[in-house]
Structure 1
Amino acid sequence: MTSPEQITRYLEPTQDAGRAFVMRQLEGQVVMLNLLRFREVADYTATPELAPPSPMSGAAAFQRYIEHTLPYLLQSGGSIEFLGQGGALLIGPPDERWDMAMLIRQRSVESFLAFATHEAYLSGLGHRTAAIEDSRLLPLSDMTPRPS
């Protein structure tokens, strides 16, 4: 069994992962599959200026992140396509769970990068950091067959 000290958490992309994402040269719309596991209690240690007056759950802190982020996402041409409550996996490790799954559609990689580096958006990123215990972000390109 893995001890808590040995568990690797993924909260933000590495430089190598960001570079690989750009190098994929995805064309057209991109959908970001987010898998999110929340902290029981949000941790605002890194951004005390965003902290609420009393402790809140990670899920509540993530809701604050969504409320802060949505105007910038929409302004950049993006949208939330799906937001759903998760739980235990049907196929996968029995001890793994994701509290929420989210699909974000962006009109292009360039639009996504402009959104992700927008100064006003970044000012509220601390809500996400406070909320998340672990996450995965998988960029997807559309391969849906279209009628001819």
Structure 2
Amino acid sequence: MLNLLRFRDIADYTSHPELTPNEPISGAEAFDRYIKHTLPFLHESEGEIVFMGNGGEYLIGPEDENWDLVMLIRKSSMQSFLAFSNHKAYLAGIGHRTAAIEDSRLLPVTELPKVI
């Protein structure tokens, strides 16, 4: 799963007030909380973060579009992803992601056989 993420300047916990921190935090900080919450469930479902890096402006692409974070997640199957994404304990922390993200894209990709 290829994730492109743009963070809010200040995290918006309106939809999940039970997770609201005592002091305002950035979208990036809220996403860090989401990742810490999510990793055990990702690993339990045989998933892993293959790559996580800072985004930026396109070399080729829309000039008005940029992404703060690019993340590649490996899952064994779409069924594994769906089971992970519907896990009740995982969903208890999804509000950190919702609070963090201003915009995002999620593109499922399938690895091709090696050519070499």
TM-score by length of 1: 0.76
> Which residue is 1:129 aligned to?
98
Aligned residues: 116
> Which residue is 1:55 aligned to?
24
> Which residue is 1:38 aligned to?
7
User: What is the CA-CA distance between 1:146 and the residue it aligns to?
Assistant: 5.0
> Which residue is 1:116 aligned to?
85
Distance 2:101 2:54 in 1: 15
> Which residue is 2:33 aligned to?
64
User: What is the CA-CA distance between 1:96 and the residue it aligns to?
Assistant: 1.0
SS of the residue corresponding to residue 66 of structure 1 reads helix
Distance 1:59 1:89 in 2: 20
Give the letter for the 2:100 counterpart: A
> Which residue is 1:95 aligned to?
64
Structure 2 residue corresponding to 1:81, chosen from 50, 55, 63: 50
Distance 2:56 2:114 in 1: 30
Distance 1:144 1:105 in 2: 15
Structure 1: 5+ residue runs without aligned partners?
1-31
Give the letter for the 2:6 counterpart: R
SS of the residue corresponding to residue 62 of structure 1 reads helix
Larger radius of gyration: 1
Identity among equivalent positions (%) equals 64
User: What is the CA-CA distance between 1:70 and the residue it aligns to?
Assistant: 0.3
Distance 1:112 1:97 in 2: 26
Distance 1:48 1:108 in 2: 33
State the superposition RMSD in angstroms.
Answer: 0.9
> Which residue is 1:142 aligned to?
111
Distance 2:40 2:28 in 1: 20
Distance 1:47 1:81 in 2: 29
User: What is the CA-CA distance between 1:144 and the residue it aligns to?
Assistant: 3.5
